[in-house]
Structure 1
Amino acid sequence: MEKIRLKLKAYDHRVLDRSVASIVEAVKRTGSDIKGPIPLPTRNRRYTVLRSPHINKDSREQFEIRVHSRIIDIMSATPETVDSLMKLDLAPEVDVEVTSMEK
């Protein structure tokens, strides 16, 4: 029995929530205990660039990227749980980071 932590990141929160729902459903089907999804603070990165390459310093454009993230803890992972997670087909926009911890 081990604890698995999944950290998911995406630019679009709707895609992220759909992926989280499919992971939670797959884990509950195998009978493992789950904590989460825990929403983490959204990271906002803003970039300011000049609109013109030569003149008009006052004319600028601003861009923003928001990174949404969630954490899911699987408390008692079984081999069936790991198999079901490996077979899941998640959206390509979602970045998944898996960490395994012994209890």
Structure 2
Amino acid sequence: MTFELTEQGHTKVRVKLWGYKSDDLIAASLTVIETIHKAGYNPAKQNTVQLPNRKRIYCILRSPHVDKDSREHFEIRKHSRFVEVSYNLEEYPHMIETLMNLDLSAGVSSILFVDPNTK
């Protein structure tokens, strides 16, 4: 796997986190940043970007035979964030492995994007 380097010889890694509770998501993004610093890496730049929430609404009839106007509404909100890290690939070759072995809380899912200019 080869990487094209961005400006100043840095490679960009994005960790996308999503979950149904915003508190768990904030804690997970802090965990990602702490893990990078505990591993001894000093990235050139790190960012946390909050993405728009996705809201799904369900409408259910309470009584399908008698009263058609009686309905209940339920919604599910999906929160998501990006943690973006720019680092020098030559200095920290094992950064991606460190992020892949990251242990997050039970309500949070993650995906790792390595520099979109990967050949």
The normalised TM-score by structure 1 is: 0.85
Structure 1: tracts of 5 or more residues without a match: none
Q: Can you list the C-alpha shifts for 1:57-93, whole angstroms capped at 9, x where unaligned? A: 1110000111111111111153332232233210132
1:39 aligns with 2:46: no
Determine which structure has more spread, i.e. the larger CA radius of gyration: 2
Distance 1:91 1:32 in 2: 24
Q: Can you list the C-alpha shifts for 1:8-33, whole angstroms capped at 9, x where unaligned? A: 11000111111110101112332123
Distance 2:16 2:103 in 1: 16
Moved over 3 A (4+): none
1:14 aligns with 2:23: yes
Distance 2:45 2:26 in 1: 16
Structure 2: tracts of 5 or more residues without a match: 1-9
1:97 aligns with 2:107: no
Aligned equivalent of 1:59 = 70
The normalised TM-score by structure 2 is: 0.75
Letter in 1 for 2:99: L
Equivalent residues of 1:28, 1:34 under 8 A apart: no
Letter in 2 for 1:37: T
Q: CA RMSD in A?
A: 1.9
Letter in 1 for 2:110: V
Instruction: State the aligned residue count.
Output: 103
Distance 2:110 2:22 in 1: 14
